[in-house]
Homo-oligomer: A and B are copies of this chain.
Amino acid sequence: MDAQDKKQQFSSSDDVRSARPLRHVQTVTFDEPLVMELGGALPRTTVAYETYGRLNARRDNAVLVCHAISGDSHVAAHDADDETGWWDIAVGPGKTIDTDRYFVICPNILGGCRGTTGPSEISPATGRPYGADFPTVTVGDMVALQVRLIDHLGIDRLLATVGGSMGGHQVLWWGAKYPGRVKGLIPLATSPRLSSQALAFDIVGRNAILQDPNFHAGRYYEQDAVPGVGLAIARMIGHISYLSPQALDAKFDATRYQPRDVPVEFEKKFSIGSYLGYQGAKFVDRFDANSYIALSMAMDLFDLGSTREQLIDALKAGGTEWLVISYTSDWLFSPAESRRIVDALIATNNKPVSYCNVTSEAGHDAFLLEDSLPRYGALMAGFLAHLAGQWVAAAPDAEHSPTSIFHPDHPHRIDYERIVGLVEPSQSVMDLGCGTGALMQALHAHGCTEIVGVDIDQDAIVACVGKGLPVIHADLNEGLRLFGDGQFDVVLLSQTLQTVKEVEALVDDMLRVGRRCIVSFPNFAYHKLRRMLAEQGRAPETPGLLSHKWYDTPNIRVLTIADFENFCARKGIRVHRRVALDTEENWREIEDEPNLNADLAIFVISR
């Protein structure tokens, strides 16, 4: 493999895989028939799988990795001499899925062609390969066979199931049907069901295979040739859809007219054509066309529902914790699909859910690639450590943004203490603009157990997940659509109101989602600020919360206590409590003319 190959190989899940047999594969054969979800049964099934690390004495450190359509059991190399695995960057000693700590199991899926029972296997009934007689496989059937495998391995409950794309479909199925058998789930770059666009690409690929004159209705095993053109065409379509337009341009735009002279029959006028032709042909060497049809159809038939209600119903079993990850440039399994999953999981409301839409330019393949691994790897590692109980509630961050208008640092976030004091330990709480989770930690210390944060900053999400705090990645300006009516006892918006563009929509949404809301903000009518404008003729600027210039301050909303009270009155919002503080005067609570004498206000409001 030359340098060019090496550079290009990591563009999809399995360009790294040769057709050679894998050295570390184990197999187990089940003689009890597997009754298939959509009819038919397989009298005997074999699972090819690989394991990494050691199962601990309590048998509770097992992580099941589910592969995507063209993957196999070889998720990582077992040693330095071993062939590269499809997720070597994430699985191994000291890596994200740390095989020094976790016992990793990766089985080839049902219907595949890399050791587990699939259409190319000999049917015990006929003595010939199943071919087109192989019963229709669903993601449910794949997972049912995975359950047999973990039974065989003596594992009662997995620590986690992890997978991207169709691997993510398997993860979702684990959550829907086997919540008692797994503690936490990490679906990556996946969807509750395929978009019409993704479905359409699959269909065109299958049409190319089915219409290939060498397909012979799936009975090509006995012929001289395989339906290689059709399978290669299908693979080419897949390849394009796995990458973002930016990633394709980055790889091929500069060398557009310098194709490589690869030994294939496909068009080689452009470099991207020679690449697609080469990859397509290479895929034919190692993959079975009937398996491709079976697996792509399983993906196309996977369907947890097209409506919110159906999806909630599908995922209502609960009992598992979730970390859902999407990638910004993934157009095949778009972030909106992951948000639908998160939406439904939040609505079932019985276990913590975290979500992050990770910035990547790589497209759908991002979950296999290194470029955004620092974020999604940290998220997975933090979540696994949390599941394994290795996380200990950290002390609140030393670093966080100032609370006071005037003082850049306080030993304590005294406003947090006041807010925490307004919450009962039994109440469920959502913290909007949660940052790295300091207020959530304070609530946790207060005894609150049902807490979720929301923030727009990805590093804040990583930090929260690293502390075992459930957190949702969302832009408050887009509202709280993910959350249901009255879903939380208390919704907090601490020192964030003045930074929001869509104030009215957010407040309306807070009041819809929270039975009570607690809002804190700096009071721009505080006497010292009034004087700054009145006497100096300058936009207020102080060392603390307002330590920004007029042209770059995040505080784009200038409001006063009187303005907020007027706003509440106009909108028919009930004010239950107002706490006005003068942070300049030792956080004294102000009763007399708060709009003049307080620099910080905390309101408890409801509809």
Known: A200-B272, A203-B272, A276-B200. A524 touches B530 (CB 8 A): no
Q: Is A534 an interface residue (CB 8 A)?
A: yes
Query: A563 and B534: CB pair below 8 A?
Result: no
Specify which chain B residues have a CB less than 8 angstroms from the CB of A270 in the assembled complex: 199, 203, 300
Chain A contact patch, size range: 35 or more
Query: B267 and A210: CB pair below 8 A?
Result: yes
Q: How close is A274's CB to chain B, nearest CB, in angstroms?
A: 10
Residue among A253, A504, A534 having the largest count of chain B Cβ atoms under 10 Å: A534
Query: A196 and B248: CB pair below 8 A?
Result: yes
Query: A245 and B334: CB pair below 8 A?
Result: yes
Residues 521-565 (chain A) with a chain B CB within 8 angstroms = 524-525, 530-531, 533-534, 536-539, 549-552, 556-563
Q: How close is A306's CB to chain B, nearest CB, in angstroms?
A: 6
Residue among A213, A243, A557 having the largest count of chain B Cβ atoms under 10 Å: A557
Q: How close is A221's CB to chain B, nearest CB, in angstroms?
A: 21
Interface mask (A218-247 → B, CB under 8 Å = 1, otherwise 0): 000000000001001100110110010100
Q: Is A575 an interface residue (CB 8 A)?
A: no
The answer for the CA separation of A137 and B344 in the assembled complex, in Å, is 53
Residues 488-511 (chain A) with a chain B CB within 8 angstroms = 501, 503-504
Q: Which residue of B237, B551, B561 is within 8 Å of A237 (Cβ)?
A: B237
Q: Is A319 an interface residue (CB 8 A)?
A: no
Q: Is A587 an interface residue (CB 8 A)?
A: no
The answer for the CA separation of A551 and B251 in the assembled complex, in Å, is 46
Q: Which residue of B204, B266, B277, B331 is within 8 Å of A276 (Cβ)?
A: B204
Q: Is A17 an interface residue (CB 8 A)?
A: no
Specify which chain B residues have a CB less than 8 angstroms from the CB of A475 in the assembled complex: none
Q: Is A391 an interface residue (CB 8 A)?
A: no
Specify which chain B residues have a CB less than 8 angstroms from the CB of A213 in the assembled complex: 213
Query: A551 and B556: CB pair below 8 A?
Result: no
Q: Is A567 an interface residue (CB 8 A)?
A: yes
Query: B537 and A596: CB pair below 8 A?
Result: yes
Q: How close is A359's CB to chain B, nearest CB, in angstroms?
A: 17
Q: Which residue of B206, B211, B504, B559 is within 8 Å of A539 (Cβ)?
A: B559
Q: Is A273 an interface residue (CB 8 A)?
A: yes
Q: Is A357 an interface residue (CB 8 A)?
A: no
Query: A550 and B539: CB pair below 8 A?
Result: no
Q: Is A3 an interface residue (CB 8 A)?
A: no
Query: A207 and B567: CB pair below 8 A?
Result: no
Query: A560 and B539: CB pair below 8 A?
Result: yes
Residues 421-435 (chain A) with a chain B CB within 8 angstroms = none
The answer for the CA separation of A498 and B525 in the assembled complex, in Å, is 21
The answer for the CA separation of A566 and B266 in the assembled complex, in Å, is 65
Q: Is A9 an interface residue (CB 8 A)?
A: no
Query: A551 and B558: CB pair below 8 A?
Result: no
Specify which chain B residues have a CB less than 8 angstroms from the CB of A557 in the assembled complex: 550-551, 556
Knowing that A211-B266, A269-B297, A537-B596 are A-B contacts, what are 15 other residue pairs whose CB atoms are under 8 Å apart, sorted by A's residue number?
A: A195-B248, A195-B249, A196-B256, A197-B240, A199-B256, A200-B248, A207-B229, A207-B277, A269-B300, A501-B556, A533-B533, A537-B562, A537-B595, A538-B563, A550-B558
Question: Can you list 23 A-B contacts (CB < 8 A)?
Answer: A196-B252, A196-B272, A201-B240, A203-B267, A203-B276, A206-B267, A207-B232, A207-B236, A207-B266, A208-B208, A213-B213, A269-B297, A269-B300, A270-B300, A504-B552, A525-B537, A533-B533, A537-B560, A539-B558, A539-B563, A551-B559, A556-B557, A558-B558
Enumerate the 10 nearest inter-chain pairs by beta-carbon distance, A residue then B residue, closest first: A525-B537, A503-B551, A196-B248, A556-B556, A203-B273, A197-B245, A537-B595, A534-B534, A211-B229, A196-B252
